[in-house]
């Protein structure tokens, strides 16, 4: 392996680990905002119990997301200095805006949200929760703006190979931004939704925290029944945008190597083993014309094949092809589970639908897997470009870094991640096993208790409705 491939593997490892935590906390922050709002409106202590439980999960996940993100920014200097030198005029300000507008907002209110419930009035604490949730969405806005610009660059001029901003409006609101942002936000919300639903199904199968688990499961179903179909609609629109701006990536997603006879349309390749060396598919199973219907919304629509570009301009087809099918397949499974669950709920059978509880439990990580698969489709499908059509990835790697240095740093990252994040994930599992605690009354913030809440403690837990019947 050369320096370029090792650097790509290292960045891929780091970002794969990083992306799951911010995505999870984006949805979790809004979930916490909803829980606290319901508690303020109803006074029902179960809402507060659920809030106290999930805010612990949020605190740990948020911390691991921040730590893993710091490593990523360091790599722009060590492994990708040419990218920093050439595109830094654009990527630097966009990432700085994220720090100034989102990270400071989150950091400013996170302490109040985690530790201030017994020190400030409920309304003030709810405001802090809202600001943290808003901060996660603002952060998503800037990060997606930077990534989208790398896929559909515009609003700049090249001066001696350096990107110089000409219109920030055009840079931020580039052609793929309007599809990528809602696609990512919905993916984050659905990921969190299936974790909450999966934990609920787990509790229901064990017969613990039954009332709380049923409430969480109903909320998960109610949200997913809207969000999953909406995500499919947004994904379809995103696909049409990709066809327009990155047709080679779309051809890789579909395993479409050669154009067929005129008027026959494009088949939908259900399964195949892409053979990059021979520029064809092995063991292909395809449905005639269905690809045209999905990709162009017509029976005889055409998409540019991979043979339309030179072999050196094609992305690695196999990982893009399979990752896309994993993402779509999980989306279909999610939709089936949500429809069946909604049907059981409507018939009043949700509490005794043990098969559905088991299905939710096993689908808990589905959002993470779909999210990573979609990310691989997006980023591997962009290759061999780091700034699409303008700057190749091989020209963005640091010229002075050596193969040995990248190998050692990659091994170090893996070792440290196994220890630190392994401990964090182990503690998260402990929290989930413990479950929500009973809080019979509201926090007495009116009289200013001197003892702060302990959102990260699992001590002195009493389970809600443990062992009770549905």
Which pTM does this prediction carry? 0.90
The pLDDT of residue 439: 60
Query: Are the C-beta atoms of 192 and 175 separated by less than 8 Å?
Result: no
pLDDT tens digits, residue range 308-345?
Answer: 999 999 999 999 999 999 999 999 999 999 999 999 99
The pLDDT of residue 441: 52
Q: Where are the domains of the chain?
A: 3-252+317-463
In the predicted structure, residue 464 carries a pLDDT above the cut 50:
no
The pLDDT of residue 71: 81
Percentage of the chain lying above the pLDDT 90 cut:
67
What is the C-alpha to C-alpha distance for residues 419 and 442, in angstroms, rounded to an integer? 38
pLDDT tens digits, residue range 35-81?
Answer: 999 999 999 999 999 999 999 999 999 988 888 888 887 888 888 99
In the predicted structure, residue 413 carries a pLDDT above the cut 90:
no
What is the C-alpha to C-alpha distance for residues 259 and 77, in angstroms, rounded to an integer? 42
Q: What is the dihedral of CA 396, 400, 405, 407, to 10 degrees?
A: 40
The pLDDT of residue 448: 43
Mean pLDDT of 149-177: 95
- Answer left, alpha or beta for residue 279, where phi above 0 means left and psi between -120 and 50 means alpha: left
CA count, 13 A, side-chain hemisphere, 94 = 25
In the predicted structure, residue 292 carries a pLDDT above the cut 50:
yes
The pLDDT of residue 440: 54
Mean pLDDT of 354-379: 95
Which of 6-20, 101-115, 417-431, 455-469 shows the lowest mean pLDDT across its residues? 455-469
The pLDDT of residue 420: 84
What is the C-alpha to C-alpha distance for residues 90 and 398, in angstroms, rounded to an integer? 18
Q: What is the dihedral of CA 400, 405, 411, 416, to 10 degrees?
A: -80
Mean pLDDT of 183-193: 96
Q: Which residue has the tokens 């690695």?
A: 316
What is the C-alpha to C-alpha distance for residues 124 and 129, in angstroms, rounded to an integer? 9
Tell me the pLDDT of the chain averaged across its residues: 89
Q: How confident is the model at residue 280 (pLDDT cuts 50, 70, 90)?
A: very high
Query: Are the C-beta atoms of 305 and 253 separated by less than 8 Å?
Result: no
Query: Are the C-beta atoms of 269 and 318 separated by less than 8 Å?
Result: no
pLDDT tens digits, residue range 213-252?
Answer: 999 999 999 999 999 999 999 999 999 999 999 999 999 9
The pLDDT of residue 102: 86
pLDDT tens digits, residue range 92-150?
Answer: 999 999 888 888 888 889 999 998 888 889 999 999 999 999 999 999 999 999 999 99
């Amino acid at each position: 392996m050369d320096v370029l491939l090792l650097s790509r593997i290292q960045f891929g490892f780091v970002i794969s680990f990083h992306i799951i935590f911010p995505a999870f906390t984006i949805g979790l922050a809004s979930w916490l905002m909803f829980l606290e709002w319901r508690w303020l409106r109803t006074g029902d202590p179960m809402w507060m119990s659920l809030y106290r439980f999930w805010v612990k999960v949020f605190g740990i996940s948020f911390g691991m997301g921040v730590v893993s993100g710091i490593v990523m920014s360091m790599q722009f200097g060590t492994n990708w200095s040419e990218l920093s030198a050439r595109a830094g005029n654009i990527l630097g300000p966009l990432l700085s805006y994220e720090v100034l507008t989102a990270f400071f907002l989150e950091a400013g209110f996170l302490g109040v949200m985690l530790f201030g419930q017994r020190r400030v009035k409920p309304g003030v604490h709810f405001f802090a929760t809202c600001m943290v949730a808003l901060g996660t969405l603002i952060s998503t806005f800037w990060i997606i703006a930077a990534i989208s610009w790398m896929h559909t660059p515009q609003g700049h001029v090249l001066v001696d190979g350096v990107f110089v901003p000409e219109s920030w409006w055009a840079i931020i609101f580039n052609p793929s931004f309007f599809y990528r942002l809602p696609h990512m936000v919905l993916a984050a919300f659905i990921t969190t939704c299936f974790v909450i639903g999966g934990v609920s199904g787990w509790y229901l199968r064990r017969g613990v925290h039954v009332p709380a688990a049923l409430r969480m499961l109903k909320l998960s179903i109610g949200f997913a029944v809207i969000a999953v179909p909406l995500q499919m609609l947004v994904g379809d629109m995103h696909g049409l945008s990709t066809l327009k701006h990155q047709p080679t990536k779309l051809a890789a997603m579909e395993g479409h190597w050669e154009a067929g006879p005129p008027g026959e349309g494009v088949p939908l390749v259900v399964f195949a083993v892409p053979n990059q060396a021979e520029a064809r598919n092995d063991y292909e199973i395809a449905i005639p014309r269905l690809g045209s219907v999905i990709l162009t919304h017509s029976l005889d629509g055409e998409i540019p094949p991979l043979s339309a570009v030179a072999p050196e301009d094609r992305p690695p087809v196999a990982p893009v092809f399979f990752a896309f099918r994993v993402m779509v397949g999980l989306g279909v499974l999610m939709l089936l589970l949500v429809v069946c669950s909604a049907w059981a709920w409507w018939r009043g059978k949700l509490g005794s639908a043990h098969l559905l509880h088991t299905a939710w439990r096993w689908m808990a990580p589905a959002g993470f897997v779909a999210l990573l698969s979609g990310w691989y489709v997006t980023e591997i499908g962009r290759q061999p470009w780091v700034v699409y059509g303008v700057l190749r990835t091989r020209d963005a790697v640091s010229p002075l870094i050596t193969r040995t240095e990248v190998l050692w740093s990659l091994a170090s990252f893996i070792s440290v991640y196994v220890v630190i994040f392994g401990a964090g994930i182990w503690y998260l599992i402990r929290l989930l096993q413990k479950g929500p605690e009973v809080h019979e009354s509201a926090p007495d913030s009116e009289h200013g208790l001197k003892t702060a809440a302990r959102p990260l403690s699992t001590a002195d837990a009493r389970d809600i409705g443990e062992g009770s019947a549905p």
